[in-house]
Structure formats: C-alpha cells, structure tokens
A and B are shown apart, each in its own frame.
Chain A
Amino acid sequence: MSSEQFSEYTVVHGRAKSFYERYDRKPELQHQTHFCPGCGHGIVHKLLARAIDELGIQDRTILVGPVGCSVFTYYYFDVGNVQAAHGRCPAVATAMKRSRPAGIVIGYQGDGDLSAIGSAEILHAANRGENITIIFVNNAIYSMTGGQAAPTTLLGQTSTTTPEGRSATTEGYPLHVSELLATLQGPVYIERVGLGDNKQIAQANRAIHRAVENQVKGLGFSLIEVLSPCPTIWKMSAVDSQHWVRDVMEKTYPLGVFCDRTKEAQPRRLPPEPPSLEAIPAILDIVNDDSAEASSAANKATKPIDLHVRVAGFGGQGVLLLGEVLAEAGLEAGLEVSWLPSYGPEMRSGTSNCHVRLSDETIDSPLVTAPNILVAMNEPSLRKFDKSVRPGGWIIYNGETFPTDCVRNDVHVLALPFTQIAHELGSARAGNMVMLGALLEVANGLPQSSIDAALRRLVRNTKWFELDELALSRGRELFRESFQEV
C-alpha cells in the first residue's frame, strides 16, 4: 500500500502509550506477551493501559503486580512497577498510596492471589476505603500452577484438585468477592464485568476507566472484577472459552455494579505528612551524636573493622550482655552492627549464645557461622564451637587450662580463669566483662568512649557500672600481659 493512501487514514486504535514498544523478556519474544493465545489478561492489560492513556497519568501510575500468570506486568507497562508477595498487593498498594499520595496506585490481582491467599488484605484495604484501584481478574481457577481449584471455582467445575467437579460439601461454595466487599462501608465503587463478548468488553473498558478515574479524583477504594477466559486450563479454544464466560460463568457471577458511592463520596483527606527524616531521632528519643559519626569516619580511614563474634556459655554468665555491650559500642562508634541472641526455651541454666557482627560495611547476615572471635565461657561451649573458628581467628576461653584435644595450630588462644579473676575484683558475675576487655584488645578498633557510653546505657546501677569498668580494664591488661610474654 502506498504512503499516499496511508496519509488518508489516521490511527484510531493502536498500541497504548502506556505499553513498552518492546518487552524486556526472552530475546526471541520481545515483541509479544507471554500470555497464551486468547488469554483474558491480555485484554485486561489493554483496557487498563488505555485508561491510563486516556486519563494522562502514565507518569504517576504505580502498578502492583501479583503472583500468578500476570506476574510480569513490569515487562509490559511503561509505568512504575512493583511486584508484591502473593496476595499482599492491597497492603503494598496502601503503603505506596499513603507515602506517595499523588501517585495513582493500581493493584492487579488474580482470583488465587486476591480471593485465596490475599483474602485478608483485600478485605481490610476495602474496609479502610484506601484510595487505590484494584483490578481483580477472575478465571475461576489457578492457571499458572496447572489448574487447581480456587475459591472462585464453580460448583461442578472440574480441576486437578476436584476431578469429580467442585462439591459444596467438601470444597464449599464459589466465593463472591464483589458482593462480599460491597457489604462494607469503605468501598466507593465495585463492579463485576466480563470478557464474554464485544458488549461485555466495552463495558469492562468503561468500568476500568471509571475505577481509575475515581482514584484520580481522590474518592476512595474501587474494585473491578473481570470474568476472564483461560483457554489453556479450561481446555477450550479461545472463542469457546469466551463464550463460556458469557454462558456459564456469568450464571454464577452475575455482572453489574454492586456498590457505587461515587456521587456522594467526598475526596478523601490526605494522610498527615510523615515527619522528616531529621525529626525521627527526636521523636524516638534518640540522642543524635554527630561526634560518634565523625569518630567512625576517622576509624574507617585508619583500620577496616569486620568482626564476626560468637559468645557462648550457660545462662546467667552474662553471655547476651557481653554481646550487647559490644554491639552497642559498635553502634556508638557509627559502625554497622547486629546482635542475635540464641537460647533454649529453658531460659535459665541452659546454654545460650549470641552472634555479634560489627563492620564498616553493610552487614549481609546477622548469623555468625564462622566466627573470627569465639568467646567460650565454659568447656561445653568451647567444644561446640571451636571447630567453626576461622583460621587466624581467636578463641578466648574461660578456664585455666585449654583442653589439649581442642588445640588447633591455626588459631590464637587466650585461656585464663576469668571468673576467678572477676571474683578477686569484687564479683564473679563480672567475668563476662573481663573477657570483653580481652576481646576489645583483640579487636582493637573501638574507642574507649564508645564502650563507656554503651556500658552506661546497659548497666544502670552505678555499683555494677564501676565494677564492670574495672573488669574491662583488667581484661585489657591481662591480654597485654599474656601476649607480651610470648
């Protein structure tokens, strides 16, 4: 056809601007969707993209994709995209709408996602009347996973999990989500539409447009349920499955508007402005100590810190407190820290241990499976963890003699009767702090001021605070004495 002839025609229906020109998926197939031939999702995608175009909101639309066949909304829609955990779309959409009130947040969910695993989320989002739009695509079955029965499966409909057909006695009745939600006071607009024939598709187009428009006007919660064909799982041709929507599915799920409060609804008030990031420490009553930040910057310049510490002992020895003081001191010095306690259900007298990480870098995991410092407060704890210490690491052991069968020549060992030493200082209970003092000498990177501040925060009693300070400096001394001799 010549270009002259084309110049006499103008495009009235073509690819929506809200779709990408090419989809960032498998190289061979970037010009077509992943949907099966005749899939209803393709049509719903198209109607939604059209509504976004018509309302001129492409630049501020955020689409929340579901788990299911339509998980890949981000391949196709040239808008903001987030993919939520199974069924949690309304919760994610709520958070985004509240934090970005100018954004148009559209949730796209299937019937497995919305009416089964996510039934609680949708119920409460609707009840709160969140100013979001939900497109609920109902094909009465779990398609992506191969055709198991969903809450929306029709009575008598066969599926892989209802081979004899769904029975009300064993599987209950089809869940009418739109009717259910329409009984609530929160929603503004709920309509069920179908893709069963041309007329139904035209109505679906209008309904989806309206549901998005309600949000643009700030009116509140809108949900459009779309009865959608699934030719593959229903084992029908595309055309037959379209007819099945109209002739069979619609009998169980009548089309229509179930709730329409758009006329009387007032634009919802915006949520209160969240506090600024700077104001949060004051609200949480946290002292903002810039000097700590500064000193941490200085630390970073001098020596990288990456501690993997495991502290183990029996309950009551102060295992967890030792770790906590270390972690707090790291926090005080502006490091990244984690402290993960681990103890048995017996609480007292059982064994307990904790994982402590201190690092200049972001901490990937709070678990310490291969410590570079092990603090073992008794023999069973030593035997439990000694093999896990990294070569070149340290074992600080509470005992005069280190068990000969635990000796490794690739780790450093400091074995002293710490409990006894603490007893001489004033109380055996300060043994953990003597060990911490030794540990701090090994780590040798935390400023004393950070440790003092951490200790003051965790040990409120003055008497114990003073004893612990004494114990810490004794620990440091013992370490220096032990390793100067060598």
Chain B
Amino acid sequence: MTDAVKRDRGLLKIDDQECKGCGLCVEACPPRVIALGEHLNHYGYRTAVYAGTGCTGCGICFMACPEPGAITVMRAVANRAAAAAIMSTGQEGSPSCASN
C-alpha cells in the first residue's frame, strides 16, 4: 500500500452464502456504499455487495442485518504497530463499541 492512496476508515466483508439479499443494509448504510449485486448466489438470492470504497466503519449495516455473521465491519487502526498488537493478542473478534 502506498501513502498516496488515502485509506478508508472502514472496511466491509459480506458473506455471500449467509446473506439473503433482504436489502436492509443497503437502506441502512449512511454513506450508501452497499448495493444488491446482479448475480444470484447458490440459494438464488441477490446478495449485498460492497462498493469497495467509502466505508466509514460505523457498523450500522451490521446492526440492521438480520443474519448473525453475514456482515463483518472492520475499522482502520491508527498505525501498524497497534494493528499488530491487536492481531497478536487475538482481540480482533470482540465487538468493542456500540453502533454509532
């Protein structure tokens, strides 16, 4: 990664096998960076797709989504050292704050 590209504050991962394409996250997302995809998944749902940029890591889509693990929201860590510390202690999975 180069410094020339400004990193997003947040990052979004959508599990297209768990998503049922209800569209609530699309409606909920404040920066409007989620849409329903054109392709059907294995179960015949048009699943949610992240636009790839623009996520703020607010977590609102996560709260609006009815599936336990269809959406995972990540937030940028201030520096690499801190990120490495969190990764090594294995705390990355614990939800640390409320939705907004």
Contacts and interface: CB of A to CB of B under 8 A. Distances in A.
Interface in A67-84: 76
Residues of A in contact with B, size category: 35 or more
Interface string A15-40: 11101000000000001110111111
Interface string A120-149: 000000000000000000000000000000
A45 B22 contact: no
A202 B74 contact: no
A47 B66 CA distance: 10
Contacts of A31: 15, 17-18
Given A12-B74, A13-B59, A14-B72, A7 B22 contact: no
Nearest to B80: A8
Nearest to B71: A13
Contacts of B65: 42-43, 46
User: Among B24, B67, B69, B91, which residue has the most Cβ atoms of chain A within 10 A?
Assistant: B24
Contacts of A36: 20
B67 A42 contact: yes
Given A9-B77, A10-B77, A13-B71, A41 B100 contact: no
Interface in B57-93: 57, 59-60, 62-77, 80, 83-84, 86-87, 91-93
A7 B92 CA distance: 10
A237 to B, nearest CB: 7
Given A13-B62, A13-B73, A32 B95 contact: no
Contacts of A205: 63, 98-99
A239 B77 contact: no
B24 A12 contact: no
A46 B63 contact: yes
B83 to A, nearest CB: 5
B95 A13 contact: yes
B7 interface: yes
13 contacts: A4-B1, A13-B62, A14-B93, A14-B95, A15-B68, A16-B68, A19-B68, A32-B70, A38-B23, A40-B66, A201-B99, A202-B98, A238-B22
B37 to A, nearest CB: 14
Contacts of A16: 68, 95
Interface string A390-434: 000000000000000000000000000000000000000000000
User: Among A6, A13, A17, A40, which residue has the most Cβ atoms of chain B within 10 A?
Assistant: A13
Interface string B1-21: 100000100110001011011
A50 interface: yes
A78 to B, nearest CB: 11
Contacts of A237: 23
A76 B69 CA distance: 11
B64 A12 contact: no
Contacts of B92: 10-11
A198 B74 CA distance: 19
A45 B71 CA distance: 15
B75 A202 contact: no
A13 B7 CA distance: 19
Contacts of B20: 32, 36-38
B69 A12 contact: no
Nearest to A206: B98
Residues of B in contact with A, size category: 35 or more
Interface of B: 1, 7, 10-11, 15, 17-18, 20-24, 26-28, 30, 45, 57, 59-60, 62-77, 80, 83-84, 86-87, 91-100
B64 A10 contact: no
A118 B7 CA distance: 53
Contacts of B100: 198, 202
A72 to B, nearest CB: 13
B32 to A, nearest CB: 13
A106 interface: no
Contacts of B45: 37
Contacts of B59: 12-13
A466 to B, nearest CB: 74
Given A35-B66, A46-B66, A242-B24, 9 more contacts: A8-B76, A10-B87, A19-B68, A32-B20, A32-B70, A33-B66, A202-B98, A202-B99, A239-B24
Nearest to B77: A10
Given A7-B80, A50-B95, A239-B23, A42 B66 contact: yes
Contacts of A17: 93-94
A231 interface: yes
A5 interface: yes
Contacts of B30: 198
Contacts of A309: none
Interface in A365-411: none
The 7 closest A-B pairs by CB, nearest first: A42-B66, A15-B69, A38-B22, A37-B22, A238-B22, A9-B74, A37-B20
A49 interface: yes
Nearest to B11: A9
Nearest to A197: B28
